[in-house]
């Protein structure tokens, strides 16, 4: 056994960390709403014939990625609520391999959606000529390559220190150097996305601002605890509470699109109508009866 932070492990091994419970509770409530909201948004996209642009598909893929990402927090909450608290790094990585895929895909899709909008505005003719299937397949391939690189790095790292004790928050599955490099690369991607949105003049939208800022705050928290000397408990709690903003962002897709997009609002309202309310009933009078 090789605890990463001996004092934190000694203090909370098989004990409940009360200082983390408010954050975990908020996170689970937000995640539960987000999973159902994103699932409904995917259904709306599939059903609506008006949502067939590449940006719509990217939003749909992003919503699915957010569902997979958010699902990983339920194991984390179980560990915190029951007092199990710590896992071996390799066990945490096994548990979070799929949620990490959702998180990594979602991060890349935020950047790629910005690039897609840039292409759409600067070169609309060429954007319309794109083979949507091949284009989306290429973009998903880039997402997979990003995920594959960092998950491989995480497994190499975990093989070296498999029994290191971690609290199994999703990012802690990449404990150590992998999460540090990942934070730097991802922050660079978000900074580029901000520049792209500024160039095309559509950055002053709540979703864009909130998503990018929340993710960057989360990553900055990871970098801060790496370079600043903090107590072991604070080194855990800062990313935990900073990550709540990310969870809110992942859960807001449906509500923000309803508020700001006419096409999505129309499609959402159409999906909410029951068949009975939209059906037309014709009454034919019988003569001579």
* Residue range 119-138, pLDDT digits in tens: 888 888 888 899 999 999 99
Q: Is 76 exposed, middle or buried (0-12, 13-18, 19+ CB in 10 A)?
A: buried
pLDDT of 1 strictly over 60: no
Strand segments (E) across the chain = 2-3, 86-88, 164-167
Cα–Cα distance, 102 to 113 (Å, whole number) = 16
* Contact (Cβ atoms closer than 8 angstroms) between residue 227 and residue 10: no
Q: How confident is the model at residue 28 (pLDDT cuts 50, 70, 90)?
A: very high
96 token code pair: 């979070």
Q: What does the pLDDT read at residue 239?
A: 79
Residue of 166 and 224 predicted with greater confidence: 166
Q: To the nearest whole number, what is the mean pLDDT of the chain? A: 84
Q: What percent of the chain has pLDDT over 90?
A: 46
Quote the pLDDT of residue 192: 84
pTM of the full structure: 0.84
| E-only strand ranges, 19-108 | 86-88
Q: How many helices (H) does the chain have, and how many strands (E)?
A: 13, 3
User: What class, spelled out in words, does domain 2-278 have in CATH?
Assistant: mainly alpha
Give the per-residue pLDDT at 238. Answer: 80
What gap in Å lies between CA 28 and CA 80, rounded to an integer?
A: 12
Q: Measure the CA angle with vertex 176, ends 173 and 182; round to 5°.
A: 75
DSSP code for 170: G
- Residues 55-83 have a mean pLDDT of 94
Summarised one tens digit per residue, pLDDT across range 187-245 is 888 888 878 877 776 544 445 555 656 666 665 666 566 666 667 787 788 878 888 88
Reported as a single tens digit per residue, the pLDDT across 100-117 is: 999 999 999 988 988 898
Provide the pLDDT for residue 281.
47
Does residue 279 have a pLDDT over 50?
Answer: no
Going by C-alpha positions, the residue among 76, 245, 53 that lies closest to residue 169 is 76
User: Where do the structural domains in the chain lie, given as residue ranges?
Assistant: 2-278
Q: How far apart are CA 170 and CA 74, in angstroms?
A: 10
Residue 229: its pLDDT value, please? Answer: 64
pLDDT on residue 144: 97
Both tokens assigned to 7: 């004092």
Cα(112)–Cα(138) distance, integer angstroms:
11
């Amino acid at each position: 056994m090789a605890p990463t932070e001996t004092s934190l492990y000694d203090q909370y091994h098989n004990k409940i960390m009360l200082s983390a419970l408010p954050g975990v509770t908020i996170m689970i409530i937000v995640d539960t709403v987000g999973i159902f909201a994103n699932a409904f948004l995917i259904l709306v996209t599939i059903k609506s014939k008006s949502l067939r642009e590449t940006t719509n598909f990217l939003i749909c893929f992003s919503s699915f990625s957010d569902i997979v990402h958010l699902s990983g927090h339920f194991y984390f909450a179980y560990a915190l609520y029951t007092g199990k608290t710590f896992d071996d790094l390799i066990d945490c990585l096994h548990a979070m391999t799929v949620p990490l895929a959702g998180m990594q895909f979602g991060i890349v899709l935020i950047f790629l959606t910005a690039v897609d909008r840039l292409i759409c505005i600067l070169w609309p003719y060429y954007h319309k000529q794109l083979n949507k299937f091949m284009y989306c397949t290429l973009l998903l391939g880039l997402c997979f390559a990003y995920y594959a690189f960092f998950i491989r790095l995480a497994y190499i790292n975990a093989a070296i220190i498999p029994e290191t004790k971690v609290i199994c928050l999703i990012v802690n599955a990449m404990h150590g150097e992998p999460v540090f490099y990942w934070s730097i690369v991802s922050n660079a991607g978000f900074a580029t996305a901000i520049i792209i949105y500024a160039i095309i003049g559509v950055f002053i939208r709540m979703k864009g601002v909130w998503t990018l800022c929340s993710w960057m705050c989360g990553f900055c928290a990871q970098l801060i605890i790496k370079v600043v000397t903090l107590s072991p408990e604070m080194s855990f709690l800062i990313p935990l509470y900073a990550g709540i903003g990310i969870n809110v962002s992942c859960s807001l897709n449906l509500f923000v699109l309803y508020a700001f997009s006419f096409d999505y609002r129309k499609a959402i309202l159409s999906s909410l109508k029951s068949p009975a309310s939209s059906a037309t009933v014709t009454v034919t009078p019988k003569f001579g009866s």
